[in-house]
Structure 1
Amino acid sequence: MDKHKNITLIGMPGAGKSTIGVLLAKAVGGAFIDTDLLLQQKHRKLLQQIVDELGFQGFIEEEGNTICGVSPEHAVIATGGSAVYYEPAMKHLREISEIIYLRLPLDEIDSRINNRATRGIALKDGQTLASLFEERTPLYEKYAHRVVECGDKNPEQVLRIILER
């Protein structure tokens, strides 16, 4: 990893962005930034409370503005799964980092997310996890420099794949 270049992890909730992000930051000797945690610190509230308070569109804008304010050097950035909805944030991340999409099949995402009501997932009214997956997948693919298949792999295996390239 170039010492000035960052790596950004994108993907669905439950894909392992935060878990793999911490491991990757340790492996490359960089900082780790979780934009969900930045949002929580800024608002002094849990992610779900922020989503409930601001609504879907308000949350997307707040998340996007938070991401646009991040300009580290030599860091691994884990974004919220909804970051791809805010184009200026994704353009910013593409300029300052290599974006890696952690792709996971819907059934694995579904089995990993057992706290949907409190997890802070930005859903539109009546939206299901399956329709969310369908809507976001083309966006993840659009913004990613690289796609890493994470199905049936543990975090260490995913880390090895990322580091091998």
Structure 2
Amino acid sequence: MKPIALIGMMGSGKTTIGKQLAKELHLPWHDSDLFIEQTTHEQIKDIFATKGEAYFRTLETRALQTLLTFPGILSTGGGIIIQKENREHLKNNAYVIFLEASIQTLVTRIDDQNRPLLQNEPMEQKLRTLYDKRESLYRECAHDTIKTDHKTVEEIITLIKQKLPQ
């Protein structure tokens, strides 16, 4: 079985849903951002601050290529779909689910202190800008989309389980 990859904006629930889904399906859980932090021994925000976004995106592509060789559930970083190579790799090597959430929902869920891309601009405005740039990219590589607004973790997991290929 191919890995199940969760994509979507920061705050859409990729980590929370990924951990619980892995537990319920008795599969390993992986997180691309956590993998990067563990392999570089640096926090994402520090990588952005000292080496820049382009360097981080290179690390992210390498992490994705590695993590998609493992079975299980993969929670990805919100910007993983920016690189065309990553979108193709996801679509071809995983069952990809876009966890879609409204900007209003994202604002209520996000702590912007640990989000490098949300610094120096009002959060809602920055989220809207990011979402407008990324929405079509999420849809391009997703096999399914689940709207997470006003749903519990359990409801979202039930929807995912219903959509999984048999």
Calculate the TM-score normalised by the size of structure 2: 0.88
- The one of 113, 117, 123 equivalent to 2:113 is 117
SS of the residue corresponding to residue 33 of structure 1 reads strand
Q: What amino acid is aligned across from residue 29 of structure 2 in structure 1?
A: F
With 49-58 and 125-134 compared, the bigger mean Cα shift is at: 125-134
For residues 1-165 of structure 1, what are the structure 2 equivalents within 5 Å?
Answer: 4-114=1-111, 116-119=112-115, 121-122=116-117, 128-165=126-163
- For structure 2, which runs of at least 5 residues remain unmatched after alignment? none
- Residue 149 of structure 1, CA deviation: 0.8
Change (3 A) 1:122 1:68: farther
- Residue 125 of structure 1, CA deviation: 7.9
- Residue 89 of structure 1, CA deviation: 2.1
Q: Following the alignment from structure 2 to structure 1, what is the Cα–Cα distance between the partners of residues 70 and 79?
A: 23
SS of the residue corresponding to residue 69 of structure 1 reads helix
Query: Is the contact between residue 22 and residue 29 of structure 2 (CA under 8 Å) also seen in structure 1?
Result: yes
Q: What CA RMSD, in Å, does the superposition of the two structures yield over aligned residues?
A: 1.8
Q: What amino acid is aligned across from residue 39 of structure 2 in structure 1?
A: K
- What whole-Å deviation, never above 9, does each CA across 1:131-164 have from its counterpart, x for those lacking one? 0111111111111010001111111110011011
Q: Following the alignment from structure 1 to structure 2, what is the Cα–Cα distance between the partners of residues 75 and 63?
A: 18
Q: What amino acid is aligned across from residue 63 of structure 2 in structure 1?
A: T
- Residue 71 of structure 1, CA deviation: 3.2
- For structure 1, which runs of at least 5 residues remain unmatched after alignment? none
What number of residue pairs does the alignment pair up?
160
SS of the residue corresponding to residue 139 of structure 2 reads helix
SS of the residue corresponding to residue 129 of structure 1 reads helix
- Residue 69 of structure 1, CA deviation: 2.0
- What whole-Å deviation, never above 9, does each CA across 1:7-51 have from its counterpart, x for those lacking one? 000000000101100111112111100001001011111111111
- Identity level (%): 28
Calculate the TM-score normalised by the size of structure 1: 0.89
Q: Following the alignment from structure 1 to structure 2, what is the Cα–Cα distance between the partners of residues 25 and 41?
A: 20
